[in-house]
Amino acid sequence: MKIAITGVTRGLGRALAEEFIRGGHTVLGCGRSGEAIFDLRLTHASPHDFSVVDVALDSKVAIWAAKVLENECPPDFLINNAGVMNRLAPLWEQDDREFTKLVDVNIRGVQNVIRHFVPAMVARKKGVIVNLSSGWGRSVSPEVAPYCMSKWAIEGLTKALAAELPPGLAAVPLNPGVIDTDMLRACWADGASAHPKADQWAKVAAPFILKLGSKHNGQSMTVGGFDD
């Protein structure tokens, strides 16, 4: 399988990339950290490929997509994983700059990737788009209102996309569950360590994702065993 993943430099994206590669799949990933991308390139040679891309910048996503889609070979799975968390505070204390940055990455970034990858998948009439949602895309908590908003948006955007796709494709909003990552520690430092690490999660999540297909189009899914 050919798998494109955003946000591969750390957390769930890095763990997924490593697990897919161990499974014999080709991973084409992007992330904002040049140092981490360089490390991935050294560790995983061709046919894997990793690029420095800020998904919030449409022009950068366009260049990355053109590289991945050369030879008219779109990915079998497109996984929008890149995301950021807001600073913990009541909504009225969230400043415009921080709020805009979160929207640019968590929502506009997903649309930028869809805009440049999905036409090739539609033309081939095959492929699965997995947009990482969250338990906070289906519920809410105090002090994370911007993040909740962005993941509720991903749920709606993905379900609407699913209604637009032709037969043979699928768009799935996927709640990864509660995983001990830097993002979780940023908002729940005391409780994060009680949950599985990203590499443990990926051993379950990678095969779960690979089983997603057209019959799951538009369904809100959760990686089994990690939702509490």
The residues carrying an active-site annotation are 147
Distance CA 218, CA 165 (A): 10
Q: Are the CB atoms for 122 and 166 separated by under 8 Å?
A: yes
Q: What is the DSSP pairing of strand 26-31 with strand 221-222?
A: unpaired
Instruction: Count how many Cα atoms sit within 13 Å of the Cα of residue 144 in the half-sphere of its side chain.
Output: 19
Q: Angle 58-68/109-124 helices, nearest 10 degrees?
A: 30
Angle subtended at Cα 220 by Cα 73 and Cα 22, rounded to the nearest 5 degrees: 45
